[in-house]
């Protein structure tokens, strides 16, 4: 979230900063100011009505004490008017506040002035390089190398077909020495970050509630990139949304008729629905939803009430939708949500090795072959919690160097890129990408992204610190980075350490983690 007072006092600064983002969002400032004005007006009207009610309520007692029934009746009428005004203003206040919060929660962070302008990766600036790219004769890509290596029974050590049979596209099953190499990479990274760089290793939940993802910024804007865990509440909430039928939901049904149909079928079965609007809607979708969608608008409030009751019942016992984590950034950063830390506790530095789950909804057609872009992958994540902007920018340099050290010890050539405003993630104020050399593509590809987020996430999580005893609390500043993406590091090792006979030389730093194995044949 953002400080509404700051937007109110300096709208041009926010307009300028958001215009530097990919979609040029500066015009949203006018919408924010409009809802802010409505919210303040409603709040003021509510407070005035409350004051009038309170004042006249006292006068009623005085009038009755004087047995002035006419005056008492007049005052009671004024109190009744005030109560109606309070209720009406309260509704307007809630409506405006919700609209304001919805807008602010969906907006990206403000890029720092030092971040270069640019709409996409073409605007990124190379800051440094390390290592000399290996020029191999006719280099093979990692997928061809991995599939050519054989394990027990002659099965490939990198098996995309077996994974696809059980899970679909964008998954892989590793066998034998490649599995050990993947594990060796993760252990090497963790040991380096914990023993030499001061990060505390954590074991964290892989399932999180929606508010955790709201805190780090993946929700509400990027829900399509997440894997949700289907449960009764999420199904009922979506059904409730369908039954209300705003235009956005009609569009959703047009875009995802199969998913909507499956959802309705599951509700019909689980709730033993035999007739009514849900059945009608199911049949409508099954018979081609688009031509006759207006018929669905005849659904009544009665059809919604049962679902709303069940939703309220589940919420009352704390039952909320859950999501698989897209990165360990989410649970690691949320360790400090709703906390007030002492200045002496900062900085905090956490690391974790976890699987990550991403639907990659916006990446159709990109890197469909191999392990570059998968729905499930492993990563060693780095998260830092610091006191302010100066500390945060210094920590960004430190964190990026910690990630670079992994590549240096593996002797993998890489470069550091400063991302432009249009290519940064939504939560970042400044980001460095590390790109490793891939011989098969004759180019550098991203293997780590290290970002300074300022107080963007802390505001959403209500995470604060107290600079000194009895001082006013301030929001902490957060950073996150990959140290590194394990799968992509495996890809880089295979390609950079490949031999002409198809074997792979194990990097020296990993040989102790491989039990002395220095070559995969």
pLDDT in tens, 478-490: 999 999 999 999 9
The pLDDT value recorded for residue 292 is 42
Q: How confident is the model at residue 201 (pLDDT cuts 50, 70, 90)?
A: very high
Written as six digits, the tokens of 515 are 């039990």
The pLDDT value recorded for residue 461 is 96
Sign of CA dihedral 202, 206, 210, 215: positive
Q: How confident is the model at residue 286 (pLDDT cuts 50, 70, 90)?
A: low
The pLDDT value recorded for residue 241 is 55
CA 441 from chain centre, in angstroms, equals: 30
Mean of pLDDT values over 89-110: 93
Question: Per mean pLDDT, which range of 25-34, 201-210, 257-266, 395-404 is the poorest?
Answer: 257-266
Q: How confident is the model at residue 44 (pLDDT cuts 50, 70, 90)?
A: very high
Q: How confident is the model at residue 494 (pLDDT cuts 50, 70, 90)?
A: very high
The pLDDT value recorded for residue 222 is 87
Mean of pLDDT values over 361-373: 71
Q: What is the pLDDT of residues 146-168, one digit of tens each?
A: 999 999 999 999 999 999 999 99
Extended strands (E) in 397-516: 414-418, 430-438, 443-452, 464-466, 474-475, 477-485, 504-505
d(CA 251, CA 245): 10
Mean of pLDDT values over 223-249: 61
Count CB atoms within 10 A of the CB of residue 169.
Answer: 10
With b for 16 or more beta-carbon neighbours within 10 A and e for fewer, the 337-371 pattern comes to beeebeeeebbbbbbbbbebbbbeeeeeeeeeebb
Question: Per mean pLDDT, which range of 187-191, 266-270, 388-392, 417-421 is the poorest?
Answer: 266-270
The pLDDT value recorded for residue 223 is 82
Q: What is the pLDDT of residues 388-437, one digit of tens each?
A: 999 999 999 999 999 999 999 999 999 999 999 999 999 999 999 999 99
Residue 22 predicted with pLDDT over 90:
no
The pLDDT value recorded for residue 293 is 42
């Amino acid at each position: 979230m953002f400080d509404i007072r700051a937007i109110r006092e300096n709208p041009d600064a926010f307009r300028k900063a958001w215009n530097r983002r990919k979609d040029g969002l500066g015009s949203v400032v006018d919408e924010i100011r409009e809802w802010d004005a409505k919210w303040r007006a409603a709040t003021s009207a509510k407070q005035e009505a409350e004051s009038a009610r309170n004042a006249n309520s006292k006068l009623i007692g005085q009038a009755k004490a004087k047995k002035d029934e006419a005056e008492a009746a007049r005052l009671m009428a004024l109190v009744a008017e005030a109560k109606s005004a309070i209720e009406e203003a309260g509704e307007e206040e809630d409506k405006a506040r919700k609209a304001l919060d919805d807008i602010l929660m969906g907006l990206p962070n403000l890029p720092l002035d030092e971040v270069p302008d640019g709409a996409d990766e073409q605007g990124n600036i190379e800051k440094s390089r390390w290592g000399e790219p290996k020029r191999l004769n006719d280099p093979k890509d990692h997928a061809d190398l991995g599939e050519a290596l054989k394990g027990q029974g002659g099965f490939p050590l990198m098996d995309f077909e077996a994974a696809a049979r059980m899970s679909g596209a964008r998954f892989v099953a590793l066998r034998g020495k490649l599995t050990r190499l993947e594990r060796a990479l993760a252990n090497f990274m963790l040991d380096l970050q914990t023993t030499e760089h001061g990060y505390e290793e954590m074991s964290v939940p892989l399932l999180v509630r929606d508010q955790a993802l709201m805190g780090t910024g993946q929700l509400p804007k990027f829900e399509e990139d997440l894997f949700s865990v289907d449960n009764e509440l999420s199904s009922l909430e979506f059904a409730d949304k369908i039954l209300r039928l705003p235009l956005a939901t009609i569009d959703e049904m047009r875009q995802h008729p199969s998913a909507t149909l499956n959802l309705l079928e599951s509700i019909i079965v689980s709730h033993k629905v035999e007739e009514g609007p849900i059945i009608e809607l199911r049949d409508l979708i099954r018979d081609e939803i688009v031509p006759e969608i207006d018929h669905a608008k005849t659904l009544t409030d009665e059809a919604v009430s049962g679902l709303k009751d069940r939703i309220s019942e589940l919420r009352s016992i704390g039952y909320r939708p859950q999501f698989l984590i897209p990165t360990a950034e989410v649970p690691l950063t949320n360790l400090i949500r709703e906390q007030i830390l002492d200045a002496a506790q900062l900085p905090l530095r956490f690391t974790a090795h976890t699987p990550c789950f991403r639907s990659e909804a916006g990446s159709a057609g990109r890197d469909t072959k191999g392990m570059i872009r998968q729905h499930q992958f492993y990563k060693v994540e780095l998260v830092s919690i610091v006191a302010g902007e100066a500390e945060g920018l210094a920590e960004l340099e430190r964190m990026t160097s910690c990630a670079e050290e992994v590549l240096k010890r593996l002797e993998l050539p890489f470069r550091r890129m400063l991302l432009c405003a249009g290519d940064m993630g939504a939560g970042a104020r400044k980001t460095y990408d590390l790109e490793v050399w891939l011989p098969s593509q004759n180019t550098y590809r991203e293997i780590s992204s290290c970002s300074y987020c300022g107080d963007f996430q802390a505001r959403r999580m209500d995470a604060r610190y107290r600079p000194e005893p009895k001082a006013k609390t301030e929001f902490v500043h957060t950073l996150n980075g990959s140290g590194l993406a394990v799968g992509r590091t495996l890809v880089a090792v295979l390609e950079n350490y490949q031999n002409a006979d198809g074997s792979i030389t194990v990097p020296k730093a990993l040989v102790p983690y491989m039990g002395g194995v220095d070559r995969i044949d």
